[in-house]
Amino acid sequence: MRPKVAIVGRPNVGKSTLFNRLIGLRQAIVHDRPGVTRDRRYGAAQIADFAFEAIDTAGFEDTPQSQLEHAMQAQTARALDEADAIMLLVDARAGITPVDREFAEQVRRAKRPVLLVANKCEGRAGQAGLLEAFALGLGEPIPISAEHGEGMGDLYDALVAVFGHPEADAAAEPAPAAGAIRADEAETGIDIDAEEEPKALQIVIVGRPNVGKSTLLNRLLNAERVITGPMPGLTRDAIAVDWEYRGRPIRLIDTAGMRRRARVQDSLERLSVGDTQRAIRFAHVVVLMIDATEGLERQDLAIARHVEDEGRALVLAVNKWDAVQDRDATMQAIRDRLETSLAQLRGIPIVTFSALTGHRVERLMQAVDRIYDTWNVRVPTSKLNRWFAALQEAHPPPLVAGRRLKLRYITQIKRRPPTFAVFAARAGQLPTSYVRYLINGLRQDFGLEGVPIRVVLRQPDNPYAGND
């Protein structure tokens, strides 16, 4: 088992930057504003051949003033309890502050090995702060630059001194080196293969601010894993948590609330929304939460369309159902709005529950399992083409320039989402209305209700083209 190392320190010393550097991903949001990180975040880290689990934490305040700050401190305290070692990060350019000294006392009381790390030591500006760090009484500070990747060798030596040299076969698949951060499709830390069965089912919880996303995640885990409260916008990062449901590995991802684009003015909120959109892009099933007392709003529909555009499976989770007075009218209003504004996802599962009390929450995972199985359906080609012939007989393709279009055959070329290729002599001239007719027939006759369906038009090569 990989050792756990908690990265702690006061706000804005570079904890999330170092976390991203160690795991080789731009996973945690980094911003000049202090206090961006609120929940603890885990990642598989590696320096050379030494692999460990890094824990990013909220910045420490010596006198927390609000309920939110107390909750952030509690998240950091849990990280200290779990950790096998602690990296206390200080800002060498700013020098040692009273908060650094208070935090040094706290980590000393944790009775864990402590690595004192002085960040922002590139150039000469950090030399004075590096020398000041000796006064904390935690040993020799390790000078690094998390932003530029400097000092990773010294950090490796310090980790080896604490845990010993890793065995040669300890890591069958080594993670990326800490010196370079990947900025590719894996930037959310969520891996997905287009066709092969994934190791863990990726479930992303999305919605407008303050609809209960974090409360739902805590309820499913039966633990206070992420910060919750009545204030909107508490969650900023997409927080991934590994879980198991009935023997099946699950990765739950809590995300920041998504407001209408016109209302997003703050740069930090734009980063949070971008993090949510990336999580959707690599999800398997997206749980769209709405507030039952407010109904289905325009922004909810915009989020659902974005999920459909990305080809993800979708479940509509109606929270705060216990607060609804006229439940029949509320459900009918939701169904009518879906029918008129989201016809391309006709038949998506709708689950009503209360995340706060836990009432009917178990039905959510049942709906997730069903829609995931539908999203993975593969239809045999022979069955598809028998259906294709009958469909054309019932409603032939239209005439174009006096000649009827000839559709030759159909085959499924991909799952997740179900994607079909239709081969036609003049594929580019097939009207979109007939493509919708095909999609509706596929959805109805093959039980593909509620999932995105893609139809790709292809024109076979003409063997006589180019011959004189």
H/E stretch holding 89: strand 85-91
The reply to whether 130 and 12 lie within a common domain is yes
| 269, amino acid identity | E
For residues 428 and 431, the model is more confident at 431
The reply to whether 337 and 315 lie within a common domain is yes
Distance CA 318, CA 350 (A): 7
| Per-residue model confidence (pLDDT) at position 420 | 96
3-class secondary-structure state, position 82: helix
Alpha carbon distance, N-terminus to C-terminus of the chain: 70
The reply to whether 263 and 364 lie within a common domain is yes
Q: Which of 375, 393, 408 marks a domain boundary?
A: 375
| Per-residue model confidence (pLDDT) at position 110 | 85
- Evaluate if residue 234 carries a pLDDT over 70: no
- Evaluate if residue 251 carries a pLDDT over 70: yes
| Per-residue model confidence (pLDDT) at position 448 | 94
| Per-residue model confidence (pLDDT) at position 262 | 61
Cα four-point dihedral sign 18, 19, 21, 26: negative
| Per-residue model confidence (pLDDT) at position 65 | 53
The reply to whether 243 and 350 lie within a common domain is yes
| Per-residue model confidence (pLDDT) at position 358 | 92
Parallel/antiparallel/unpaired status of strands 313-319 and 285-291: parallel
| 315, amino acid identity | V
Is residue 180 domain-resident? no
Is residue 182 domain-resident? no
Parallel/antiparallel/unpaired status of strands 4-8 and 85-91: parallel
The reply to whether 306 and 399 lie within a common domain is no
Is residue 17 domain-resident? yes
Please spell the DSSP secondary structure of 411-467, one letter per residue.
Answer: EEEETTTTEEEEEETTGGGS-HHHHHHHHHHHHHHTT-TTS--EEEEE----TTTT-
pLDDT confidence band for 427 (50 / 70 / 90) = confident
Instruction: Tell me how far apart the 2 most distant CA atoms of the chain are, in Å.
Output: 89
| Per-residue model confidence (pLDDT) at position 178 | 43
Tokens of 408: 């030759």
For residues 264 and 17, the model is more confident at 17
The reply to whether 265 and 315 lie within a common domain is yes
Please spell the DSSP secondary structure of 131-149, one letter per residue.
Answer: HHGGGGSSSS-EE-BTTTT
What single-letter DSSP state applies at residue 318?
E
The reply to whether 215 and 335 lie within a common domain is yes
For the stretch 35-71, pLDDT in tens is 455 567 888 899 988 999 999 887 665 555 555 556 6
The reply to whether 207 and 352 lie within a common domain is yes
Q: What is the mean pLDDT of the chain?
A: 83
Number of compact structural domains in the chain:
3
| Per-residue model confidence (pLDDT) at position 191 | 35
Mean pLDDT in residue range 315-323: 96
H/E stretch holding 271: helix 267-281
Q: Is the pTM of this model over 0.75?
A: no
Q: Which of 342, 375, 408 marks a domain boundary?
A: 375
| 402, amino acid identity | G
Residue 407 lies in domain? 381-458
Is residue 465 domain-resident? no
The reply to whether 362 and 388 lie within a common domain is no
Mean pLDDT in residue range 440-451: 93
For the stretch 241-250, pLDDT in tens is 889 998 899 9
| 432, amino acid identity | T
Mean pLDDT in residue range 150-157: 93
Most confident of 231-245, 327-341, 387-401: 327-341
| Per-residue model confidence (pLDDT) at position 289 | 95
The reply to whether 95 and 29 lie within a common domain is yes
Of 158-172, 176-190, 353-367, the range with the lowest mean pLDDT is 176-190
For residues 460 and 4, the model is more confident at 4
Q: What percent of the chain has pLDDT over 90?
A: 49
Is residue 175 domain-resident? no
Distance CA 414, CA 378 (A): 8
pLDDT confidence band for 236 (50 / 70 / 90) = low
Question: Is 40:80 a contact under the CB 8 Å cutoff?
Answer: no
For the stretch 369-409, pLDDT in tens is 999 999 999 999 999 999 999 999 999 888 877 778 888 99
Distance CA 379, CA 411 (A): 8
Is residue 276 domain-resident? yes
- Evaluate if residue 272 carries a pLDDT over 60: yes
370 contacts: CB under 8 Å, gap ≥ 6:
349
- Evaluate if residue 179 carries a pLDDT over 50: no
For the stretch 105-117, pLDDT in tens is 888 888 899 999 9
Most confident of 180-194, 207-221, 309-323: 309-323
Is residue 191 domain-resident? no
Kindly report the CATH number assigned to the domain that includes residue 428.
3.30.300.20
Question: H helices of 282-326, where?
Answer: 298-309
Is residue 172 domain-resident? no
- Evaluate if residue 423 carries a pLDDT over 50: yes
Distance CA 102, CA 80 (A): 15
- Evaluate if residue 413 carries a pLDDT over 90: yes
Of 30-39, 145-154, 163-172, 362-371, the range with the lowest mean pLDDT is 30-39
450 contacts: CB under 8 Å, gap ≥ 6:
313, 314, 345, 346, 347, 348, 349, 371, 374
Bond preceding residue 64 cis, omega within 30 of 0: no
Question: Is 149:165 a contact under the CB 8 Å cutoff?
Answer: no
The reply to whether 284 and 136 lie within a common domain is no
Most confident of 266-275, 364-373, 459-468: 364-373
The reply to whether 145 and 218 lie within a common domain is no
Q: Which of 146, 163, 180 marks a domain boundary?
A: 163
| Per-residue model confidence (pLDDT) at position 405 | 84
